[in-house]
Amino acid sequence: MIRIRHADESPHEASEVNVTPFIDVMLVLLVIFMVTAPLTTVNVPVDLPSSSEKPTPRPEDPVFLTIKADHTLALGEDSLETSGLGPAMERATKGNHDERIFLRADKTVDYGTLMGVMNRLRSAGYLKVALVNLQGQEEGGETASSPAALPGGTP
């Protein structure tokens, strides 16, 4: 007797890739990275006095906020109380919260004081802050100061 074979009777090999082990390995790696990422922070004291980046152009009438060495504030040339920062910024910017604020700080001002002033600016509604630094200066040299933009806005 002659038997006719049909295509569906022949044994088939599995041609699909089993991705379950791959997904399991990726999830294990994700957990490992999530656990180790906080441990990779750097605890090194840093002195950041100058930059060699090209300065960004200044606006015609910039608003400069200065933190002096004694931790007092000055808006432009006028001294300012920390508690009156919000209303003084409103007057200086004419209520324009999108205007870039150029923040200058003495080299001896600690990071906590600088962040405190930046938090007060943020709570007053000013999110575009540029830090002013010395451009292309070795320690003890003389150059002009210029702003360095922060990630919160464009220069």
129 vs 150, more confident: 129
Tokens of 150: 């922060």
Where exactly are the structural domains of the chain? 50-149
Which conformational region is residue 32 in: left (phi greater than 0), alpha (psi within -120 to 50 degrees), or beta?
Answer: alpha
Question: Per-residue pLDDT tens for 25-47?
Answer: 999 999 998 888 777 665 545 45
- Position 31 scores a pLDDT of 93
Average pLDDT for 8-24? 76
> Parallel, antiparallel, or unpaired for β 73-75 and 50-51?
unpaired
Q: How far apart are CA 97 and CA 152, in angstroms?
A: 13
Task: Indicate the residue type of 19.
Answer: V
Select the CATH number that applies to the domain covering 50-149 from these four: 3.30.499.10, 2.60.40.10, 3.40.50.300, 3.30.420.270. 3.30.420.270
pLDDT at 142 (0 to 100): 46
pLDDT of residue 63: 85
More confident residue, 52 or 42: 52
- DSSP string of 102-141? EEEE-TTS-HHHHHHHHHHHHHTT---EEEEEEES--TT-
pLDDT digits (tens, 9 = 90+) for 65-120: 888 888 888 888 888 888 888 888 898 888 888 888 888 888 888 889 889 999 99
**Mean pLDDT (whole number) for 143-148:** 49
- Say yes or no to pLDDT of 154 above 50: no
The predicted pLDDT at position 23 comes to: 93
Query: pLDDT tier at 8 (50, 70, 90 boundaries)?
Result: low
Closest by CA to 127, choosing from 97, 154, 148, 106, is: 97
Could you give the CA distance from residue 66 to residue 142 in angstroms, rounded to a whole number? 19
